[in-house]
Amino acid sequence: MPIRLTDRQRKLAHHVLLFDRPLAHEVAVALQRATLACAENNIASTGVTEFFCGLYLQFRQELQVHFGGDVGELVERTFPKHRFGDKGLVTESVLENAASDEDSSGFGYSISLSDGLTRLLWTATRLANAVGRKTSLKDIIAALTLEDEWLGELHRNGITPRQELRDFQDVLSVIFYATLHAHGRWPKTMQFELDGKIQPPFHALLKTPSGGFAPMRTGTMTLNGKEVAAVSWPDCSEISVPVVLQR
């Protein structure tokens, strides 16, 4: 369940983020790009998706190193009006006044951050503070991966991390694990009982060894008398398949 802030909590969080300057300069600029683009596109509040688009407007090449998917298309869809470079840091009225040599010394627009984005920025800042620095792009990226809510929002927009993410839930969902040696003289048949604590659906994962050992060239897995998976190195060194377990 997403956390909802009260008005007083929201005002305090926004004051710290916008005026106490915990964000590194370029991240703060990315936030400025996102909030300005929201104002110009009549978006009431800057959320995680809008801020991600602001990151793209500021860190276009670097962001694509860490995320797969058509981020450019997401920006076009989210912000029909957007600008890269210095022009993306001022309003259209300022640009028009500058072009006509009129006074363009100041501008203003309303800023509203969603509770989800506020919590994301706060989490990223905590990560940065832990190692004694201001919040960088990498801190933002790391924080994005900590919550299924934030990753899910990006995933629904076709954006996924390029790196494999280790999740301790992967350990908690295991009901049986074994490392087998690829030699006929060592036993390769094992049994386990299903205790009912973990419910279906179930998957069987078969992979060749990693680390300092040479990979097995081929391998098969049989479950309850039925072959369910096969690997062949290097073409298919890991496979995960849905299975039905018996007690």
CA atoms of 93 and 83, how far apart (whole Å): 14
Most confident of the following: 55-69, 174-188, 198-212: 55-69
So what's the architecture of 7-161 in CATH? Orthogonal Bundle (1.10)
Q: How far is CA 71 from CA 62, 64, 123, in A?
A: 12, 8, 23
More confident residue, 25 or 107: 25
Tell me the two tokens of residue 131. Answer: 């190692």
Does the structure show a pLDDT above 80 at 98? no
Confidence at 183, pLDDT banded by 50, 70, 90: low
User: Mean pLDDT over all residues of the chain?
Assistant: 89
Among 190, 241, 191, 236, CA closest to 216? 236
CA atoms of 95 and 111, how far apart (whole Å): 20
The 10s digit of each residue's pLDDT in 124-162 is 999 999 999 999 999 999 999 999 999 999 999 999 999
Mean of pLDDT values over 176-196 = 76
| Per-position b or e across 174-210, b if 16+ CB within 10 A of its CB | eeeeeeeeeeeeeeeeeeeeeeeeeeeeeeeebbbbe
Is there a contact between 112 and 36 (Cβ–Cβ < 8 Å)? no
More confident residue, 106 or 214: 214
Most confident of the following: 53-67, 170-184, 189-203: 53-67
Amino acid at 182: A
pLDDT at 93: 76
ω into 234 cis (within 30 of 0): yes
pLDDT at 129: 96
Q: Domain coordinates of the chain in residue numbers?
A: 7-161, 169-243
SS3 92: helix
Among 245, 242, 244, 247, CA closest to 203? 242
Contacts of 148 (CB under 8 A, 6+ apart): none
